[in-house]
Structure 1
Amino acid sequence: MAFARGKDAEIYYEVHGRGTPIVLSAGMGGSGSFWAPQLEALATRHQVILYDHVGTGRSAASHRSIAGMADDIACVLDHASVDAAHVVGHAIGGIVGIELALRHPRRLRSLTVVNGWGCADPFLRRCFEIRKQLLNQSGPQAYVRAQPLFLYPPQWISENIAHLDAEEERILRHFPSVATMNQRIDMFLAFEGGKRLAAINVPTLLASAKDDALVPAYLTRELAAAIPDSRVHEVDWGAHAFSVVTPEVFNDTLLDFCKEVDR
């Protein structure tokens, strides 16, 4: 456990295992704990770096732009004495990875974007509009209570309800401020990679789930069309958080990709 001092903030991070470095960047919740289902498998071959986004988890609250969040990853790498790493981001964490590849390409060995997007479409905007309404009108408890409906397949929710209830209590104890969450949602919906995406020149894997009801798989395909030489890995089942639902599938895919790049 350590803290990297970034611009106007201290960024909490952890390092596990040995080998080629991998940085894991979470989605909307921002906590490195999202990647718990990946940690053991990845740490057998890699130095795994988990961190909490600024304003979430154990990282001090501060206003951030997407560019600032990309710089935060570079700051964590500096503090961990890592020149370049495989960068893996889920959803908005993937957008931060994209921005890092554009701002600091030499800091990446590869880029993996999980259920991400290059530009939010009307469907995605409506989903987040509903989530914001839950947050602002009914409060964090309602927002967190509804969250699994956006993240997981219905049957998986039913079979794991006890775990989700316990997870709900943990999330609420560490939930960011409402203002921070609104700012994060607005910031990532405003992201438009546009023509800049064509400048990404690191090996890129774009992973998605066909049954993702929050960030549809077609947004990943659109992203692939914009990033030169990127590859798409699409799973049939697991929804938005398929790295949690089917961790073995996700872990094997990521390990194989990193192994190929490291050759």
Structure 2
Amino acid sequence: MTATEWSAGAAGSGQYAEVNGINLYYETHGTGRPMILLHGGLCSGEMFAPILPALTDHHQVILVDLQGHGRTADIDRPLDVTLMADDIAALIEHLGLEKPDVVGYSLGGGVALQVAIKYPHRVGRLVSASANIRRDAIYPEMLQQQGQVSGAAAEFMKDTPMYELYQRVAPRPEDFPRLLDKIGEAMAKDFDYTEEVRGLQVPALIVAADADMAPPSHFVEVFKLLDGGLRDGGWTGENRPKGGHALAILPGVTHYDLADSPLFAAVTLAFLDRQN
């Protein structure tokens, strides 16, 4: 990640929810239609500080620290997007939320997608950003870099904002190498969610940078699975994807600065606030 100033500038209330066997940290900001916002790997909800004011203007934003990240301590299980999706579904029930929108970036985008796939009855709309649905969609040189992520790299990361954040807020700062081990193991596993995405029942916005970790063509493929990009949309939008899905490729950003881009906030709000 870039050296973003990660601090939740807006006033919020940090709390813990004992759900699904994990003590999940979350903060609540703003008022309005609820939106659960999920961060990227090695980060925390604080990474969204630059765009939080825009998002909270008309929405209640629930920032969650995922398993082993930020202020949520790790538990004895793999870092797996399907398991973390269970955590978010349990949090939705715990908070008594009525079909909140779920928005996620990178790792959080994968988790958000799984929440919508596994628990469509608990989700309003989905925004999944910079989250490829097949491992082999990632550029080969990036897969090679991911293969080098392990606890042994902790010493080399001491000057990074990810390490600084973890040391500042984690319940057990000494667990950073363990988090790197788990992230490395998770990224080494093959996955393909093509069929699950094809059956998605929740209106979804697929977002990517024009210079993301996977090529724009991959995210166009995802949109095609959702009945998108197959025909002219029609004068009144009558031929748009049947499920209400949409695609946004954001110009001039990368995988590493998309999450704090005003463009990301703008397309997210435009999609979530649509009336149809």
Instruction: Output the TM-score relative to the length of structure 2.
Output: 0.77
Q: CA deviation at 1:56?
A: 1.3
1:227 aligns with 2:226: yes
Q: Which residue of structure 2 aligns with residue 178 of structure 1?
A: 177
Give % identity. Answer: 25
1:57 aligns with 2:70: yes
Q: CA deviation at 1:85?
A: 1.1
Q: Which residue of structure 2 aligns with residue 252 of structure 1?
A: 266
Cα deviation per residue 1:115-169 (whole Å; 9 max; x = unaligned)?
Answer: 11110116446424424425444x2242465xxxxxxxxxxxxxxxxxxx66763
Note the 1:1-263 alignment, pairs <5 A: 1-62=14-75, 63-64=77-78, 65-121=80-136, 123-124=138-139, 126-133=141-148, 135-137=150-152, 139-143=153-157, 169-173=164-168, 174=170, 176-188=175-187, 189-212=189-212, 214-228=213-227, 229=241, 230-244=245-259, 247-261=261-275
CA contact (8 A) 1:55 1:180 kept: yes
Cα deviation per residue 1:204-239 (whole Å; 9 max; x = unaligned)?
Answer: 111111122x33323222222223433211122110
Matches of 1:38 and 1:80, distance apart in 2: 24
Counterpart of 1:254 in 2: which secondary structure? Answer: helix
Q: CA deviation at 1:191?
A: 2.9
Q: CA deviation at 1:184?
A: 3.0
Alignment gaps of 5+ in structure 1:
146-164
Counterpart of 1:14 in 2: which secondary structure? Answer: strand
**Residues 180 and 129 of structure 1: CA distance in aligned 2, closer, same or farther (over 3 Å):** farther
More helix by share: 1
Cα deviation per residue 1:100-128 (whole Å; 9 max; x = unaligned)?
Answer: 11110011111111111110116446424
Alignment gaps of 5+ in structure 2:
1-13, 228-240
- Please say which structure displays the higher CA radius of gyration: 2
CA contact (8 A) 1:69 1:96 kept: yes
Q: Which residue of structure 2 aligns with residue 154 of structure 1?
A: none
Matches of 2:200 and 2:56, distance apart in 1: 27
Cα deviation per residue 1:11-64 (whole Å; 9 max; x = unaligned)?
Answer: 000111111111111111241112112211111100100010111111121124
Matches of 1:80 and 1:99, distance apart in 2: 19
Cα deviation per residue 1:51-107 (whole Å; 9 max; x = unaligned)?
Answer: 101111111211243222111111222232212111111112111111111110011
Q: Which residue of structure 1 aligns with residue 8 of structure 2?
A: none
Q: CA deviation at 1:202?
A: 1.2
CA contact (8 A) 2:166 2:176 kept: no
The alignment's C-alpha RMSD in Å is 2.4
Instruction: Output the TM-score relative to the length of structure 1.
Output: 0.81
Q: Which residue of structure 2 aligns with residue 162 of structure 1?
A: none
